[in-house]
Structure formats: structure tokens, C-alpha cells
Amino acid sequence: MKLIDTPIIFTKSKQNVQGAEIPRTKIPKLNPNEIINKNLLREDYAKLPELTEPEIVRHFINLSIKNHHVDRDIYPLGSCTMKYNPKINDKLASHEKITSIHPDENEKHIQGALKILYELERYLSLMTGMNRFTLQPSAGSQGEFAGLLVMQKYHKNKGNNKKYVIIPETAHGTNPASVILVGYKPLKVKSNEKGRVDIDHLKSLMNNEIAGMMLTQPNTLGLFEDQIEEINEIIHSEDGLMYMDGANLNALIGITKPVDMGFDIVHINLHKTFSTPHGGGGPGAGPIGVVKKLTPYLPIPMINKTNENYFEWDYNYPKSIGQLHTYYGNYGILVRAWCYIRTLGENGVKQMTRQAIINANYLKKKIEKVYEIPFSNGTMHEFVASCKNQKIRGIKVLDIAKSLLDYGFHAPTIYFPINIPEALMMEPTESETKETLDKFADALIEIDQKITESPEQLLNAPIKTPVKRLNETKANRELNLRFNYEI
């Protein structure tokens, strides 16, 4: 039994120690009894931790090094990409002029803030070819939900009685979950021997009850769905809509546009393509863009620019699916994406995409002699290895992932997509250097050698992290998140 040895900040608190000088305010002191209902007033001071500045800094620095993050080393998580977030994004988002405004302020006084949102929307529209975007959804998954609500409203408005949404078997789990949430039923389409949608199976599923198809492009095997034109024809033939899960847009942006591939709706995971924090399902940002015929259904408010270059909220969308988020989404995240796009510019964005594809292909080549890559033809920004040969020799993909932690790396995504046995899904992203990719590939190759030389090291990994290997079943069944929980 071992106690986790990091006390929480409250236990370090000492009375009357001050770590920060709060600036004096010119606002006259008000009597709280006069402005706040008595029942809501606190009876005592808030019990905030009292520490010196160095103690606070050390507390958080020590915490941050117990965890792996992209500022420490490569984080090659496939599908749910954690790419490097340039520091200039944070610098801008923390600027006083950004942090000191309130969404309830009169729009006249926050023109600059509205301009950023308006411009971000325009950039996303230009890059995807979509007519308009809403920036409200706070995660890719919420974007999916919003996009499907738009799809549903479009069909209801036309009097179409639609019931199903087609999803490939390799899709991210949030796709079927979102379909069920809006009240449609998911229908699974199989993959063919090349890892793309099986067209014959798709044809056999198609009928006039199909509301649309959700397709991840490139798909979660990192492969471009090259029969996209045929897929569109099939879905559109019964007035179905094509929804692009644009989580992997970082493999396409600047090179091709969803609208040119026939998509009607797209969501963008800003964290994956435009370097913002992910937020684990929110508070991140997952804007959705739609073609013209679907624009009336977008959430309100939208932002307009008048002829006098004035930015204003627009609630005049009578067919809208409603409001999705308080105010207008996660502003700080949106500012970061705007900053990233402005920093890179058109050529920079294109370069980013190319580099992401080159890096994934380089890493794949380095390890393919040791790790089998079942669908290797046409890799874009990510690829999936199968560790089934390693499993035959006694080491599961879970052991390989845990062993990578001992090398100081974050593990790739494992056991997804589910059509690949012992899947190890890698996305190095564009910001990693050749040296880092070499180091990571060498670690994977060395792990494979250890299967014969010292398998116990792999079975017991990780041994260098603050928390060692957990009994995951027990951790799930006996969840205890209290401080000083014994492990």
C-alpha cells in the first residue's frame, strides 16, 4: 500500500501567509447586505489556501511534471490528437483586453471581440467552402450533436420521415452516440479490404428513411475515402445529407475543401486542427459549418457585419435549432484558433497539413518492419498498427503502451478502431522533429526486442511514473477519488 505523495494545496495552507498582492481598487466599498440577498451571503470568509508565491509556483510545477503533456514530449495520440499549442495563442488569449470583457457588455463596446469571432467564422468558411459556421459547440462531439439537429430539422421541415444515419464501422464512438442522442438510429456500414467504405454494402443499406451519413474524412485509419463521389451520389439520391466528421481535417486543410467533396455539414475539432486545448469533451470548441440550404437552421445568435463595418448579434433565424451554449461558446478557445490561423496564414496552414502527413508516413516507415500495418496504402496524418504478432509472443498492446510511458512518451491510442486487432493508433502531428520521431520509433523497436529479452519489464510497466500500473477493472469498480486514497 502506498499513499499518493502529493498533498493538495489546501493541506499546505498556513494562516496569514500571503502570496499575492491584490491591487487596490478605486471602486467604493459596498455593503454586501444592501446588494445581495441575505440568504445567499457567506457567513464566514472563503477558506482559500494561504501560501507564499514560491510555494504556490512549486506546488503547480511539481504537479505538472507528474503528468505527461505535450510540453514535455511527444503525445502521439491517434484520433484524439494532442498537438502542440504555440505559446502565442495563450499570450493573446490572456491579454487584458480579452480577459476583462464580459459577454453581457453592450455590443458597441466589444466590437474588437466580435470582429475576432466574425473573422474566425470567415476563415473556417473559406477553408472548408461552407456557407456559414456557428462557433458555439464546446467540443467536437457537441458539434456532431448540433450538426445532426440541423440535419433533423431540415428533414422535418421538408416533411421527410427519416429514421437512420449511416456510419462506417471504423467511426469514432461519439458518432453513433450523437445519432442516438438526437433520436435517430445508427446503421453500420462495413469497410472493404482497403479499409474504406464498402460501396456495395452502402448501396444495400440506402433507402428513403436514411437521413444522412456521417463520414470521417480521412477515416480513423488515416486513409482518404477515395470513393467519396460515389458515396455522395448514393446518399444524396434519397435526399440524405452528407455529414463530415472533420476531426481529421488537419490532414486536408489548405489542400482540399469538404464542400468540394460534396459534404453538407462539417464539424471541426479546433484542438486537432487549430492548436487549441482539447478539454476532454469540453470546454473546447467544435464549430460546425453548413452549406447554404442548411444555414437557416444554425444555432442563434449568429454574427453579422453591417455595411458600416459594425459587428452585431443576429437572432433573426426563425428556423434555428435554438441556442446551444451560453453566450457564444468558449471565447478563450476561439481566440486561440483565430491566433493560430493568423500566425500561419494561408501558406502556413498548407505547410502544416503537408508536414503532418510527412511525419505520419515517416514514423510508419521506421516501424513497419517490426509492427504490422494492416491498411498501409495511402496513409495521411495518422496510421494504425496491429500488435497481434507481439500478442502471440506474450505481450499485449496495453503492455506496449504502458512501456512507452517508461521511455517518457505518451502512449498512442489503443484498441481503436475496433476492426484492427491489438490496434496501436499513432498520430505524431506536424510539430514533431525528425529527431523526436526517431527517438519514438527506436523506443517502439526496443520494446519489441524486449519481448524475448526481458518480457517482465514490459508486463510490469510503467515503473518510472508517479503512479504505477493500475488494476483497471478494480479502479473502475471501486472508484474512489478522495484525497489520500490508498493504492
| DSSP code per residue over 353-403 | HHHHHHHHHHHHHHHTTTSB-SS-TTB-S-EEEE-HHHHHTT--HHHHHHH
Q: Residue 284 interacts with ligand PLP (CB under 6 A)?
A: yes
The residue (of 221 and 241) whose beta carbon lies closer to ligand PLP is: 221
- CA distances to 114, 129, 131, 305, 481 from 122, in Å: 12, 10, 9, 11, 43
> Judged by CB under 6 A, which of 172, 325, 336, 402 binds ligand PLP?
172
For residue 160, give every residue at least 6 positions away whose Cβ sits within 8 Å of its Cβ, in sequence order, or none: 208, 211, 239
Q: Residue 138 interacts with ligand PLP (CB under 6 A)?
A: no
Backbone angles phi, psi at 164, to 5 degrees: -125, 155
Binders of ligand PLP: how many residues, by CB under 6 A? 16
Among candidate residues 423, 405, 406, the one with its CA nearest the CA of residue 414: 423
Q: Residue 258 interacts with ligand PLP (CB under 6 A)?
A: no
Binding segment for ligand PLP (CB under 6 A), chosen from 280-288, 360-368, 424-432, 458-466, is 280-288
Least separation, in Å, of the C-beta of 125 and ligand PLP? Answer: 20
Q: Residue 85 interacts with ligand PLP (CB under 6 A)?
A: no
The residue (of 19 and 173) whose beta carbon lies closer to ligand PLP is: 173
Spell out, one character per residue from 174 to 213, where the chain touches ligand PLP: x when CB under 6 A holds, - when not: x---------------------------------------
Q: Residue 139 interacts with ligand PLP (CB under 6 A)?
A: yes
| DSSP code per residue over 402-432 | HHHHHTT-PPPEES-STTSTTEEEE---TT-
The residue (of 139 and 458) whose beta carbon lies closer to ligand PLP is: 139
The residue (of 112 and 280) whose beta carbon lies closer to ligand PLP is: 280
> Judged by CB under 6 A, which of 75, 76, 79, 263 binds ligand PLP?
79
Query: Buried b / exposed e across 76-111, counting CB within 10 Å, b at 16+?
Result: bbbbbbbbebeeebbebbeeeeeeeeeeeeeeeebe
- CA distances to 72, 250, 273 from 433, in Å: 14, 18, 18
Least separation, in Å, of the C-beta of 426 and ligand PLP? Answer: 13
Under DSSP, the state recorded for 9 is G
Q: Residue 269 interacts with ligand PLP (CB under 6 A)?
A: yes
Q: Residue 286 interacts with ligand PLP (CB under 6 A)?
A: yes
Q: Residue 141 interacts with ligand PLP (CB under 6 A)?
A: yes
Least separation, in Å, of the C-beta of 395 and ligand PLP? Answer: 26
- Crossing angle between the packed helical segments 111-128 and 331-367, to the nearest 10 degrees: 30
Provide the 10 A C-beta neighbour count for residue 462.
17
The residue (of 269 and 403) whose beta carbon lies closer to ligand PLP is: 269
Q: CB under 8 Å, gap of 24 or more: what pairs does 411-415 form?
A: 411/77, 412/76, 412/77, 412/78, 413/77, 413/78, 413/79, 413/80
The residue (of 132 and 172) whose beta carbon lies closer to ligand PLP is: 172
> Judged by CB under 6 A, which of 198, 225, 245, 427 binds ligand PLP?
245
Binding segment for ligand PLP (CB under 6 A), chosen from 23-31, 102-110, 281-289, 427-435, is 281-289
Closest residue to bound ligand PLP by CB: 140
Q: Which residues bind ligand PLP (CB under 6 A)?
A: 79-80, 139-141, 172, 174, 216, 220, 245, 247, 269, 272, 281, 284, 286
